[in-house]
Amino acid sequence: MAYDKRFDGRKFDELRPIEAKVGVVKNATGSASFRIGKTWAYAAVYGPREMYPKFKQDPEKGILRCNYNMLAFSGSGDRVRPGTSRRSKEISMVTEKALLPVLDLSAFPGAVIDVFIELIQTDSGTRCAGICAAAMALADAGIPMKDIVSSIAVGVIDGKIAVDVNKEEEDYEDGMADIATAMTTRNGKVTLLQIDGFAKKDELKKALEAAHKACEKIKVIQIKALKDKYKVNAK
Amino acid sequence: MSEIKINEREIVVPGEIIATGLDYLPAGFVFREGDNLISSRLGLVSINGRFIKVVPLTGDYIPKRGDLIIGKVVDIGINGWRIDMGWSCEANLSLKDATSEFIEKGSDLTKYFDYGDYIMAEIYNVIGSKLIDLTMKGPGLRKLGPGRVIHVNSAKVPRVIGKQGSMISMIKDATGCRISVGQNGTVWISGTEPEKELTAIKAIEKIEAESHIQGLTDRVKEFLEKNK
């Protein structure tokens, strides 16, 4: 059975509805929420603050520490076991590496910037939603950045490129490739690229092109959310 | 071919191109990439002749030499005090800069500044944003007495103070409170009545929330008259 029509009736290059908001956690230095379809991520940035234990400090530049966490009730019925797991550790690490290339932490020697990403509802693409939220939260926290990172998961299903896959598509019975990407759209540099499944070389190329277009759309929404924080106050 | 893409006093986000061409030069929180001048912070664009800079709207206080700050004593060592002023590392206030009195060897330093005391001090040296030295020698630099301490965003401090202190003296006159504002965003308020102190706090919070919108002074004046 060929995959001609997507399960939720979207076009193949269509994103799920996105909602972004900045300044959602008042106590944090910077914070943001990012909702794409049914996936909903909150990110809060604390710091720069002094890094303890002291031996982990870097005297030349600051350190970025990300923490990805899915809440117990966030999945589609099954309780997610709280605390760190092998999966959340990995995603924390790739998030860190996706964000670090755009950050300039040379002004914060011996300090750490903590990024907490909490997912209150998940429907695939959680790491991508987390990265989008974290990038906005870091900008809101006033950390010097070269660009804003946008992120999207692209699927290859039966040779078709489907942007922003949801859980139903991810569980496609004949198998699919789930490609999580993050990039800086100004110069198109890729900061995250993970593939779950198999994709042919030309499929991967097409998927990356589609991801770049989708990231440009997401970036517009991210920028609007950041600017809106200061427009709302006007009323 | 130089061109400004974003006008003065408009909000920019990190990575946004403010201007193109080599005629303009990057200043604070703006960097050059090829032909483009790009912002690295969330803030307002400010163009001064050929220089383009971004005045940040968010973010922590960055210590600068000559700034007057309000800090809290968090540690006492052999040769001075450690002061927390909201930056990622603590500042150092050494014995010789703390007081003009002669401090005898081995004397109890809590006599001068105890743990948890708030002080107003001047930054006189910053080495690579890691080592910060404070001094208490200067007009108005003192230990702060009983009062309330609130924190505002350090980017908003110039607006809280106003042009030549106009805003802060308006609040002082209206509430009768004594107010000290540190460049790091810590504000100390001491008044005769708690209600007056709370009015002053609310006024300062209002300034912080609405500082980037024009006509701020009038709105604060109106607010203070309403809450007299």
Chain A touched by B209 (CB under 8 Å):
yes
CB B37 within 8 A of CB B63: no
Q: A188's torsion region: left (phi>0), alpha (psi -120 to 50) or beta?
A: left
Q: What is the pLDDT of residues A103-147, one digit of tens each?
A: 999 888 888 999 999 999 999 899 999 999 999 999 999 899 999
Q: What tokens does A99 get?
A: 């964000």
Tell me the residues of A at the B interface, defined by beta carbons under 8 Å apart: 29-30, 47-50, 59, 62, 102, 104, 107-111, 139-148, 184, 186, 222-223, 226-227, 230, 233-234
Confidence label for A1 from pLDDT (cuts 50, 70 and 90): low
Q: What is the pLDDT of residue A222?
A: 94
Chain A touched by B213 (CB under 8 Å):
yes
Q: Which residues of A touch B59 (CB under 8 A)?
A: 29, 141-143
Q: A164's torsion region: left (phi>0), alpha (psi -120 to 50) or beta?
A: left
* pTM exceeding 0.80: yes
Is residue A235 predicted with pLDDT exceeding 50? no
Q: How far apart are the CA of A102 and the nearest CA of chain B, in angstroms? A: 9
Q: How far apart are the CA of B173 and the nearest CA of chain A, in angstroms? A: 27
User: How far is Cα of residue A171 from the mean position of the Cα atoms in its chain?
Assistant: 21
- How many structural domains does chain A have? 1
CATH number of the domain encompassing residue A175: 3.30.230.70
Spatial CA neighbour of B111 closest among B125, B101, B120, B121: B101
Chain A touched by B84 (CB under 8 Å):
no
Indicate the fold that domain B68-144 takes in CATH. Answer: OB fold (Dihydrolipoamide Acetyltransferase, E2P) (2.40.50)
Domain B148-226 has CATH 3.40.50.300: no
The residue ranges of every structural domain in chain B are 3-56, 68-144, 148-226
Q: What is the pLDDT of residue A233?
A: 52
B128 or A82, which is more confident? A82
Spatial CA neighbour of B207 closest among B156, B151, B133: B156
Nearest CA in chain B to A27: B151
Verify whether the Cβ–Cβ distance B59 to A29 is below 8 Å: yes
Q: What tokens does B186 get?
A: 């810590």
Chain A touched by B35 (CB under 8 Å):
no
pLDDT tens, residue order, chain B (228 aa): 688 888 888 889 999 999 998 888 898 889 998 889 999 999 889 888 889 989 888 877 888 888 899 999 999 988 889 998 877 778 889 888 888 888 887 788 888 889 999 999 999 888 876 788 999 988 889 899 899 999 888 888 888 888 888 889 999 998 889 999 999 889 999 988 899 999 999 999 988 888 777 788 888 888 888 887
Task: For residue A82, tell me if it sits in a domain.
Answer: yes
